[in-house]
Amino acid sequence: MTVASADTHPLTWRLRADDSASDIKLYEANDGYAAVRQILNNTAPADIVKLIKAAGLRGRGGGGFPAGVKWELMPAFDPNAPKRYLLCNADEMEPSTYKDRLLMEQAPHQLIEGMILAAYAIQACNGYLFLRGEYVLAAERMQKALTAAKEAGYLGKNILGSGWDFELVLHTGAGRYICGEETALINSLEGRRANPRARPPFPQVAGLWGRPTIVNNVETLCNVPHILLRGADWYKQLSQGKSTDAGTKLFGVCGRANKPGLWELPMGTTAREILEQHAGGMQDGYELKAWLPGGVSTDFLLPEHLDTPMDFDSIGKLGSRMGTGIITVVDQKPGIITVLRNIEEFFARESCGWCTPCRDGLPWTVKTLQALEQGKGQPGDIEMLERTTKLLSPGYTFCALAPGAMEPLQSALKYFRAEFEQGIAKT
């Protein structure tokens, strides 16, 4: 095992054995806010965007969109309309995801530093950290850290004498998975129902209160200070030999493994290494039947796919998505129909109800799966489920919730068709 160091484990090297959060003094003593001090008076915002782009930082919220490219899509700064916003997406509600929680509970200042630098790069005057309501400990620790950062002069007016102001506010939510969808998040932040918005215009152009807005995931933003301190080449070599995607990633395993958990590893580490070396393999009596690479909105993969590097492109080539990068191992005990029924119940319950295919299609899917689970499926059910995966695919619904719900279903139909057939009632 390698020892965690700033060089190899930028996101987690400061974490403490007792799971407590570093306070601002300890954080500063470990190079904390060094990037803010170095950048603020010496680097032009546009150069930061260039550096993040050159480093190849891709969004860690699940989509993998390059962060620097997203930032560049903002209109040029206009002194006559100076208000722009940075939102941190800390809604983390995708089943089987618990990485942002760790970053906020145990390294709150790292996220704040990342947000300050990202906001400076896009010239945002205000930032909001949109945190899901159930993350009570994260809220406490983030609020404490925000207060300390403000007292130390890293937030507020004229930060470190740079003439630039940045206010950062913690906003806690009140439930509902859909709040994590970036335009729904903006509506929720404005105090409305969390229905997604039509695109275009994209939030970069017209987001919060109609003004240019960037939404980034917690883990994405936590990478920013390290890239600015150590450079794009260092960031790219973190995954050297394993992946063309840059950096490290918080990977995890949950389900019936021996040691479920979360580890910072080079991008492109194989799923097999993560499961066997870090999570200690499957528990006795539980066999690996299938796995989800990163949350329930990704397609199932099989044991034969374990040697694939965990990065956006390699998992994408298999017809799935890396998503959040936390592997769910599905064992042989519950049938795949039961697993799917659980997943689709989640999506049906969390649908915002805005568009018909999703609002009606998901409960219908659940009903069909329940029937199949009880051996009461009707002839034609399998074909109907197949058709549903098309009717709820990208382009037919307002946001990506419904297409995400179809990913496990379509891959189960591909890999485990016999189990669907067994659910059809014998006449």
Ligand X SMILES: Cc1cc2nc3c(=O)[nH]c(=O)nc-3n(C[C@H](O)[C@H](O)[C@H](O)COP(=O)(O)O)c2cc1C
CB-based contacts of 342, cutoff 8 Å, min separation 6 = none
199 binds another protein (CB under 8 A): no
The tokens describing 289, both together, are 């039947």
The footprint of another protein on residues 79-98 (CB under 8 A) is 92-98
Asked if 278 and 306 count as a contact pair (C-beta separation under 8 A), the reply is: no
Asked if 271 and 291 count as a contact pair (C-beta separation under 8 A), the reply is: yes
Of 62 and 309, which has the nearer Cβ to ligand X?
62
Q: Is 116 helix (H, G, I), strand (E, B) or coil?
A: helix
Candidates 358, 366, 369, 413: give the one binding ligand SF4 (CB under 6 A): 358
Task: Single out the segment in contact with ligand X by CB under 6 A; choices: 16-24, 215-223, 257-265, 359-367.
Answer: 215-223
- Residue 387 Cβ, how far from ligand SF4 at the closest point, in Å? 17
Task: Single out the segment in contact with another protein by CB under 8 A; choices: 235-243, 325-333, 362-370, 378-386.
Answer: 325-333
Give the integer Cα–Cα distance in Å for 145 and 140.
9
133 binds another protein (CB under 8 A): yes
Of 255 and 361, which has the nearer Cβ to another protein?
255
Nearest Cα residue to 324 out of 349, 291, 294: 294
288 binds ligand X (CB under 6 A): no
CB-based contacts of 422, cutoff 8 Å, min separation 6 = 375
Judge residue 195's burial from the number of C-beta atoms within 10 Å of its C-beta, 0-12 exposed, 13-18 middle, 19 or more buried: middle
276 binds another protein (CB under 8 A): no
Candidates 209, 356, 387, 390: give the one binding another protein (CB under 8 A): 209
89 binds ligand X (CB under 6 A): yes
The footprint of ligand X on residues 218-237 (CB under 6 A) is 220
176 binds another protein (CB under 8 A): yes
Candidates 74, 86, 92, 128: give the one binding ligand X (CB under 6 A): 92
296 binds another protein (CB under 8 A): yes
Query: CB under 5 to 8 A by kind: which of ligand X, another protein, ligand SF4, none does 89 bind?
Result: ligand X
Candidates 32, 61, 108, 207: give the one binding ligand X (CB under 6 A): 61
178 binds ligand SF4 (CB under 6 A): yes
Candidates 142, 343, 401, 413: give the one binding ligand SF4 (CB under 6 A): 401
Query: CB under 5 to 8 A by kind: which of ligand X, ligand SF4, another protein, none does 220 bind?
Result: ligand X
CB atoms within 10 A of CB 325: 29
Task: Single out the segment in contact with another protein by CB under 8 A; choices: 74-82, 301-309, 339-347, 417-425.
Answer: 339-347
Query: What pairs with residue 328 in β-bridges?
Result: 254, 292
With contacts defined by CB under 8 A, how many residues of the chain interact with another protein?
Answer: 54
CB atoms within 10 A of CB 317: 9
Of 28 and 134, which has the nearer Cβ to another protein?
134
Handedness of CA 81, 169, 39, 239 (dihedral sign): negative
Of 182 and 311, which has the nearer Cβ to ligand SF4?
182
Give the integer Cα–Cα distance in Å for 321 and 275.
18
- Residue 200 Cβ, how far from ligand SF4 at the closest point, in Å? 16
175 binds another protein (CB under 8 A): yes
Give the integer Cα–Cα distance in Å for 410 and 295.
15
CB-based contacts of 123, cutoff 8 Å, min separation 6 = 45, 77, 82, 84
Give the integer Cα–Cα distance in Å for 326 and 294.
5
Q: Which helix (H) or strand (E) holds 411?
A: helix 401-415
Task: Single out the segment in contact with ligand SF4 by CB under 6 A; choices: 23-31, 212-220, 273-281, 355-363.
Answer: 355-363
Q: Is 125 helix (H, G, I), strand (E, B) or coil?
A: coil
Query: CB under 5 to 8 A by kind: which of ligand SF4, ligand X, another protein, none does 173 bind?
Result: another protein
Nearest Cα residue to 205 out of 195, 196, 215: 215
Asked if 376 and 341 count as a contact pair (C-beta separation under 8 A), the reply is: no
Asked if 413 and 344 count as a contact pair (C-beta separation under 8 A), the reply is: no
Helix residue ranges per DSSP H, 30-76: 34-40, 45-55, 67-72
* Residue written as token pair 């709040």: 179
Of 32 and 62, which has the nearer Cβ to ligand X?
62
Query: CB under 5 to 8 A by kind: which of ligand X, another protein, ligand SF4, none does 189 bind?
Result: another protein
Provide the binding-site residues for ligand X, judged by CB under 6 A.
59-63, 65, 89, 91-94, 177-178, 180-182, 215-217, 220, 399-401
Provide the binding-site residues for another protein, judged by CB under 8 A.
92-98, 100-101, 132-136, 169, 171-177, 188-194, 209, 252-256, 260-262, 292, 296, 326, 328-331, 334, 339, 342-343, 345-346, 349-350, 352
